Structure 1
Amino acid sequence: MLKTIGVVLLLAVTANSQCFYKDDSSKKLNPEARTSLYKGQLGFTLNIFNSINNAVPNDNIFFSPFSIYHSLLLAYFSAGGTTEASLKRSLEIEDNMDKINLMTAYKVDKRSRTVNNNSDSYEFNSANKLFVANELEVRQCMLNFFGEELESLNFRENPGAARDYINGWVSRITKNHINDLIPPDGISQATKLVLANAAYFKGVWSSKFPVERTKKEIFYVSESHQTFTTFIKQKGTFRYMVSEELGAQVLELPYKGNDISMFILLPPYSMKGGVKNIIANLTPERLAAVVEENYMTREVVVEIPKFTIERSLHLREVLENIGAGALFNETTDFSTLTEHKGIIFDDAVHKAKIQVDEEGTVAAAATAIFGFRSSRPAEPTRFVANFPFVYVIYERPTNSVLFMGVYRDPKK
C-alpha cells in the first residue's frame, strides 16, 4: 500500500465590496482559467523541484508541490502591491490572468476534487487554511470568498494553544502521519498569520505486487557504493516508453480507479549523471508529455524498492530562489486580506512522507542496460529500479503533480 502525505506551512510575524480591484465586476469570464492554473502549477513544480534538488543534491527528496503551491496561492490572493506581483511571477501565473478568474478556477478545482475523490478506489484529501490573529480585522470580501479557509486564533494570549491547534488540524487532515509540524518556538505572541496546506493520499495499486516475490537485493547507490534493500516485483501489462528528450525509461504504475498514477523516470544504467541529466532535461512541456501521453502498453517485468521516506524542509531559502522572497521582506504587503500593516513571514516549513509496499504506491528504478534506439526491445521489457530514479505522483483529472521525489539511497 502506498501512503503519501505532504504539508506546508508559512509562519507570518508582524511588527467595500470590491475586493481585488477597483471594480471586480469589470473582469470578464476567462474560459481558459483552469487550464492556465494547471499550466502555472506545472511550471512552479519544476522550479521548486530544481531548487530543492540544488539544496540537497545527494539526498533522497520527497515533497508535495501541490501543497506548497496552494499555500502560496492563498498568500497571492491575500497580497497586494509588489508582494502580489512577486508571487504572481513565482507561481507562474500568466500576465493576463486576473485574481477573479483565478479564484473562480481555484474554487471549481476544489469542488471537482471533492466530487472526484472516489474513496472506494483511493483517498486524496487536501485542505487550505489561513489562521489569522483574532485582533486583525479581515476584510469582509475575503471572508465572503474564503470563509472555509479562514480561521482566527488567539496567538497573542496563548501561542502554545494556537500551535497545538494548528498541529492538530494538520494531523487530522493527514491521518496522523504528519505530527508536530510547527516546532515549540514556531508560534509566538507576535504571530499574526499562518498559511497552511495539508495533503494526504492513500492509493492501492491497480495491479498489486505479490508478497511472495518480495526479496532483498542490491541497490546501486553509485558506481562505488552498493547496499541491500527490499524489492517488490511483478510481471504485468503497463504503459512504458523510452524518452530520448529526458534520457529516461518511463513506466506508469496506476492506482485503483486510474485517476492517479505513479510515473517512474529511470535513466540508463550509468551512475554518472543519470538522475542529474533527467532533472536538467525536465521542462513543463516534457513532463506534460510524459503524464498525458497515451503511450503503448506492453508486458513489463517490474522490480522497485519497498520504502518509507519522511522529509522536513525549511523552505525559506528554496522560495527565495524561485522568486518568492518578497514574503520575507519588511515591505511585505497583505493589504488584500487586512488593512493591518507590518505582516512579515518569518519562515516556511514543509513535511512530506511516502510509504510504498506491495499493496500500493510505487517508487521505481531499473538495472536494465539499454541504449536509446528505435528497435523494439525483447519481450518482456525489464524495468528494474535498483539505482537512483525520479518519481512523480500525478492526478490526471486535475492535471496536478501531487507529490514528487528522487530516490537515491535506501539508507538515507
Structure 2
Amino acid sequence: MKRLLILHIVGALTAAMAQGATNFDLAAKATNELTVELHRQLATGDDNLCISPYSIESALAMTYAGADGETRTEMARVLHLTNDLGVPASFSALQHSLEEMSAKTTELAKQSKKFGGPSEPITLHIANRLFAQKGYQFRDAYLSLVKQNFGGAFEPVDFIADPAAATQHINKWVADQTRERIRDLIPLRALDKTTRLVLANALYLKAPWANEFSQNATQPEPFFIHGGGAPVDVPMMRKTDKHFGYARHERFTVVSLAYAGNDLQFLVLLPDEINGLRALESKLTADMLASCAKLEKRDVDLYLPKFKLEPPTITLAEKFKALGMNSAFDKPQGSANFDRMAPRKPNDYLYISQIFHKTFIAVDEKGTEAAAATAVAMMAGSALRSPPPPPI
C-alpha cells in the first residue's frame, strides 16, 4: 500500500470543530492548517506517510509559549496561531474536549452492552512533559503556564552529566504513555551535553467502530499503489452501511466512518483515477478537512484495506525552516529568542535543535489503534564569536 492520505486524528479535530464550540476553535483550525502545509512538505515520494499534526502542533504550541520577539512572530505565522493571548487556553480546551469525548463513550459502551451492541469505549490518552536540565534557570511563569494549560509536568534530568541516560529516560516515558507503540522516539546521540530542554507530547488512541466490519467479509482484493504498476492483493474489509458519511467532489470521493459515540471519525479521500493522488493532494485545504466533518449519511458499499503502519522517527527541523520558522532554530546565529521560557543572555540562550516525530496506526475490522509522539529538543547557544586573530 502506498501512502495513506489523512491520519484519523485529523478527524477528531474536524469533528470537534463541527460541534461549534469556539473556545478550542483556534487550536483545532491551526492544527488543520498545519496538516495541509506539512503534508505538502512531506508527501514528496511514493512511500507511505503517517503523521499526527495534533501531536506536532501541541508540542510546538508549548514551545511557542516561551518564545518572544521575532521568534514568536515567525512561530505564530507558521503554526497559524492568530490570537496570541488565547493560544494556551484554546489548546487546553481542545485537549479536554477530546478527553471528554472518550469518557462519554465509556458510559455509552455500558448501555450498549446491555443490548448486545459494541461494549468497548474509545481509549484516548494525551500527555505532555518538560524534561529540563537540572539547575537551569527556567522562568516560573512559563512552567506554570505549561502546567496549567497543557498538563505538562516539569521533570529535571541531567543532559550535561549523561545525555544518553536522559534520552533513554525520555524514550521510556513516551513508550509508557503510548502503551509501547512508540519506542525509541529520540535516536541515540541525538541529544548531547548542550541540550537544556525537551518538550514532549505523546498520545494513544484505541477506537472501536460504531459498527464493526465482519471478519468473514475480509478477503484478498487488488489495491492500486501510488506510482503505477500492477495492483497488489491486500486484506480488504467490506461493509455495506447506510450510516457512512459520503460526498462526491470534483475527481475524488470522501467517505467518513464513525467510531463509537459518533464524535470521532476516520476520513478516507479516494481519487477517481488510479494515479490521481497527486492532484487530490494539491486540492487539500483546512476548510476542506473541516467540511468533511459534516458529510451527509448515505448507503455505501465500502471496501477498506486492513493495514498497519509503523514508520521510523522522522525529523522536522528542515521542514519547519522551509515553512519560514528560522529564528527558532537560531538561523542566523544569535537570533533565537525564547526569553519567556528562560532568561536570554548573549552567551547562554535557548534554541530548537531538532523536532522528532513518530507514529503508529493499525486499522482492522474492530476499529483503529494509533499512537504518536513529538519531541522538541532545545539546546544552549552562544552568540559570542571569537575575536579575529591579530594582523601579522
Quickly name the TM-score band, shorter chain normalised: 0.7 to 0.9
Kindly tell me: are residues 175 and 5 of structure 1, through their superposed partners in 2, closer, same or farther at Cα, counting changes over 3 Å? farther
Kindly tell me: are residues 152 and 111 of structure 1, through their superposed partners in 2, closer, same or farther at Cα, counting changes over 3 Å? same
**Secondary structure in structure 1 of the residue aligned to 2:128:** strand
Aligned to 2:376: none
Q: Which letter maps to 2:131? A: F
Kindly tell me: are residues 184 and 223 of structure 1, through their superposed partners in 2, closer, same or farther at Cα, counting changes over 3 Å? closer
Is the 2:8–2:265 contact (alpha carbons within 8 Å) kept by the matching residues of 1? Answer: no
Q: Deviations over 1:67-125 (max 9, x none)?
A: 0001110111011111111100001122xx223x2222223333333333226320111
Q: Deviations over 1:370-395 (max 9, x none)?
A: xxxxxxxxxxxxxxxxxxxxxxx9xx
C-alpha root-mean-square deviation of aligned residues, in Å? 2.3
Kindly tell me: are residues 5 and 260 of structure 1, through their superposed partners in 2, closer, same or farther at Cα, counting changes over 3 Å? closer
Q: CA deviation at 1:358?
A: 0.9
Aligned to 2:84: 98
Q: Which letter maps to 1:161? A: A
Q: Distance in 2 between matches of 1:128 and 1:41?
A: 17
Q: Distance in 1 between matches of 2:135 and 2:29?
A: 38
Q: Distance in 2 between matches of 1:202 and 1:228?
A: 27
Q: CA deviation at 1:183?
A: 1.4
Is the 1:5–1:353 contact (alpha carbons within 8 Å) kept by the matching residues of 2? Answer: no
Aligned to 1:113: 98
**Secondary structure in structure 2 of the residue aligned to 1:63:** coil
Unaligned runs of 5+ in 1: 7-30, 363-392, 394-401, 404-412
* Structure with the larger RCO, 1 or 2 (CA within 8 Å, 6+ apart): 1
Is the 1:5–1:174 contact (alpha carbons within 8 Å) kept by the matching residues of 2? Answer: no
Say which of 219, 224, 233 aligns to 1:228: 233
Kindly tell me: are residues 328 and 286 of structure 1, through their superposed partners in 2, closer, same or farther at Cα, counting changes over 3 Å? same
Are 2:98 and 1:89 equivalent residues in the alignment? no
Say which of 59, 69, 75 aligns to 2:57: 69
Aligned to 1:315: 316
Kindly tell me: are residues 33 and 108 of structure 1, through their superposed partners in 2, closer, same or farther at Cα, counting changes over 3 Å? closer
Q: CA deviation at 1:170?
A: 0.4
Q: Which letter maps to 2:93? A: V
Q: Which letter maps to 1:338? A: A
Aligned to 1:154: 158
Q: CA deviation at 1:32?
A: 5.4
Aligned to 1:361: 368
Kindly tell me: are residues 5 and 240 of structure 1, through their superposed partners in 2, closer, same or farther at Cα, counting changes over 3 Å? closer
Kindly tell me: are residues 167 and 324 of structure 1, through their superposed partners in 2, closer, same or farther at Cα, counting changes over 3 Å? same
Q: CA deviation at 1:223?
A: 4.2
Choose between structure 1 and 2: higher helix proportion.
Answer: 2
Q: Distance in 2 between matches of 1:333 and 1:153?
A: 23
Say which of 250, 270, 274 aligns to 1:271: 274
Most deviating of 180-189 and 63-72: 180-189
Is the 2:159–2:196 contact (alpha carbons within 8 Å) kept by the matching residues of 1? Answer: yes
Same amino acid, percent of matched pairs: 26
Are 2:235 and 1:213 equivalent residues in the alignment? no
Q: CA deviation at 1:49?
A: 1.3
Kindly tell me: are residues 323 and 128 of structure 1, through their superposed partners in 2, closer, same or farther at Cα, counting changes over 3 Å? farther
Q: Which letter maps to 2:290? A: A
**TM value normalised by structure 1:** 0.74
Aligned to 1:43: 33
Say which of 243, 246, 249 aligns to 2:253: 249
Q: Which letter maps to 1:232? A: M
Q: Distance in 2 between matches of 1:98 and 1:348?
A: 22
Q: Which letter maps to 1:77? A: A
Q: CA deviation at 1:140?
A: 1.6
After TM superposition, the runs of 4+ consecutive aligned structure 1 residues lying more than 4 A away are none
**TM value normalised by structure 2:** 0.78
Q: Distance in 2 between matches of 1:53 and 1:242?
A: 24
Kindly tell me: are residues 115 and 234 of structure 1, through their superposed partners in 2, closer, same or farther at Cα, counting changes over 3 Å? closer
Kindly tell me: are residues 140 and 223 of structure 1, through their superposed partners in 2, closer, same or farther at Cα, counting changes over 3 Å? closer
Q: Which letter maps to 2:284? A: L
Q: Distance in 1 between matches of 2:101 and 2:234?
A: 36
Q: Distance in 2 between matches of 1:196 and 1:302?
A: 37
Say which of 346, 351, 372 aligns to 1:344: 351
